[in-house]
């Protein structure tokens, strides 16, 4: 495919496109959240925001305020309402603006969303999607820069996906909306804008299968596992390693729960070394989980132990000098990769 054929959208545009398509396809799809449109109740200021990251722009104009609902600042209220409306026949999308806000609606997510299907003997379905934004790097400090995948992955009953580019962002959001289980979609704030050279985002509606990882770069010497933004860091690290003569394979996890153990283990059995890059806090993280799964299932293939690249065990500091030390970097990944290979 030549560059002129690449339909390069930004991540936000790709997600927006899939929302429009899903709203069109299924009248039961609705959206709730703070400023998902904006200017609520004021006709001349309708759609003032379209979401903090513009993911939901234009929806209220096309589909109206019955289906696109700005909410008061009541996470417990509207996330719970998403649970209830899903139980009663809708397919709601609820926007939990920053993942660090999970604290104010944790009960609805961990006690109701995750458990109702199970507790009620499978008799009630909750086909809802929660979208939320993650990540540090913009100086938003401790409460607005978290990642927290492992908290959600821990709870049986929730599915969790983390897109990494506009192509899989569009496909995973579609898959999430169509899934009959509750799905949490983690959108990294550093991925929203920027177009560059693509990937190509097809115009038509499509799904990216939940539960499947993606090999973003093939290689033979070491496996680098990335999640969302850190997949890009892994790809940069792979380039740097290539210049030093090493061939790194980059696995883009995409789906955190369910986990694509097959793809991960296949890669590790091939390269025999693995570095896991996770922007979440280190203790009881996805990185720990991946390390444990890999050790359990591929121990005899490993030349060296899995290495984890996480931030330090601290909250996210504000000062840019300190924040830069918090987030994993390609240099750190290279360092860990070299350590496993020597």
- Residues from 250 through 309 that contact another protein (CB under 8 A): 255, 257-258, 260, 280-281, 283-289, 291-293, 295-296, 299, 302, 304-308
Closer residue to another protein (CB): 111 or 205? 111
CA-based nearest residue to 163, from 206, 133, 198? 133
Contact pick of 12, 15, 30, 237 for another protein (by CB under 8 A): 30
Sheet holding 274-277, edge to edge: 214-217, 248-252, 222-226, 274-277, 307-309
Pairing of strands 68-70, 29-33: parallel
Closer residue to another protein (CB): 199 or 211? 211
Q: Binding-site residue total for another protein (CB under 8 A)?
A: 98
Q: Which residues pair with 275 in a beta bridge?
A: 224, 307
Block residue for tokens 């025999």: 272
Contact between 108 and another protein by CB under 8 A: the answer reads: yes
Task: Please say whether the beta carbons of 158 and 176 come within 8 A.
Answer: no
Closer residue to another protein (CB): 14 or 131? 131
CB of 26 to another protein, least distance (A): 12
Footprint on residues 146-175 left by another protein (CB under 8 A): 148-151, 153-157, 159
Contact between 25 and another protein by CB under 8 A: the answer reads: no
Contact between 39 and another protein by CB under 8 A: the answer reads: no
Task: Please say whether the beta carbons of 183 and 161 come within 8 A.
Answer: yes
Contact between 106 and another protein by CB under 8 A: the answer reads: yes
Closer residue to another protein (CB): 216 or 286? 286
Contact pick of 45, 139, 220, 314 for another protein (by CB under 8 A): 314
CB of 243 to another protein, least distance (A): 27
CA 121, 123, 127, 133 dihedral sign is negative
CB of 96 to another protein, least distance (A): 12
CB of 318 to another protein, least distance (A): 8
**Upstream peptide bond of 173 is cis (omega within 30 degrees of 0):** no
Question: Which one of 144, 173, 188, 214 is the catalytic residue?
Answer: 144
Q: 69-108: b or e for each residue (b if 16 or more CB lie within 10 Å)?
A: bbbeeebeebbbbbbebbbeebbbbbbbbbbbbbeebeeb
Contact pick of 4, 5, 44, 88 for another protein (by CB under 8 A): 88
* Stretch 48-87: interaction string toward another protein, x if CB under 8 A: ------------------xx-x-xx-x-xxxxxxxxxxxx
Closer residue to another protein (CB): 155 or 206? 155
Say whether 232 is catalytic: no
CA distance 136 to 133: 10
Task: Please say whether the beta carbons of 47 and 39 come within 8 A.
Answer: yes
Spell out the residues 6+ positions from residue 296 whose beta carbon is closer than 8 angstroms to its own. Answer: none
CB of 3 to another protein, least distance (A): 35
Residue 177 CB coordination number (10 Å) = 25
User: From start to end of the chain, where are the E strands?
Assistant: 29-33, 68-70, 91-98, 129-134, 159-161, 183-188, 214-217, 222-226, 248-252, 255-257, 274-277, 307-309
Contact between 123 and another protein by CB under 8 A: the answer reads: yes
CA distance 307 to 117: 37
CB of 341 to another protein, least distance (A): 14
| Contact range with another protein by CB under 8 A, out of 49-57, 105-113, 215-223, 233-241 | 105-113
* Stretch 214-253: interaction string toward another protein, x if CB under 8 A: ----------------------------------------
Residues labelled as active-site residues = 144
């Amino acid at each position: 495919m030549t560059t002129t054929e690449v339909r390069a959208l930004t991540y936000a545009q790709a997600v927006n496109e899939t929302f429009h398509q899903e709203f069109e396809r299924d009248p039961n799809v609705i959206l709730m959240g703070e400023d998902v449109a904006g200017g609520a109740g004021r006709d001349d200021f309708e759609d003032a925001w379209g979401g903090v990251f513009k993911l939901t722009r234009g929806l209220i104009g096309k589909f109206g305020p019955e289906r696109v609902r700005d909410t008061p600042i009541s996470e417990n209220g509207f996330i719970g309402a998403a649970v209830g409306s899903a139980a009663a026949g809708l397919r709601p999308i609820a926007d939990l603006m920053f993942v660090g806000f999970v604290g104010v609606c944790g009960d609805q997510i961990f006690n109701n969303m995750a458990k109702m299907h199970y507790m009620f003997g499978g008799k009630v379905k909750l086909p809802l999607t929660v979208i939320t934004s993650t990540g540090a790097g913009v100086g938003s400090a401790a409460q607005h820069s978290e990642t927290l995948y492992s908290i959600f992955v821990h709870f049986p009953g929730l599915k969790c996906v983390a897109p990494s580019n506009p192509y899989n962002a569009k496909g995973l959001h579609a898959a999430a909306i169509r899934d009959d289980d509750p799905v949490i979609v983690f959108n990294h704030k550093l991925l929203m804008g920027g177009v560059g050279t693509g990937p190509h985002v097809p115009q038509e509606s499509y799904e990216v299968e939940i539960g499947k990882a993606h090999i973003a770069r093939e290689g033979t010497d070491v496996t680098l596992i990335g999640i969302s933004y850190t997949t890009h860091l892994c790809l940069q690290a792979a380039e740097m390693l290539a210049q030093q003569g090493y061939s790194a394979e980059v696995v883009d996890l995409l789906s955190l729960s369910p986990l694509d153990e097959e793809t991960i283990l296949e890669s590790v059995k091939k390269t025999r070394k693995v570095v896991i890059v996770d922007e979440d806090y280190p203790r009881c993280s996805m990185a720990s989980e991946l390390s444990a799964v890999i050790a359990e299932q591929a121990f005899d293939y490993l030349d060296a132990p899995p290495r984890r690249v996480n931030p330090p065990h601290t909250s996210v500091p504000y000062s840019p000098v300190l924040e830069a030390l918090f987030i994993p970097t390609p240099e750190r990944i290279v360092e860990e990769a070299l350590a496993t290979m020597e």
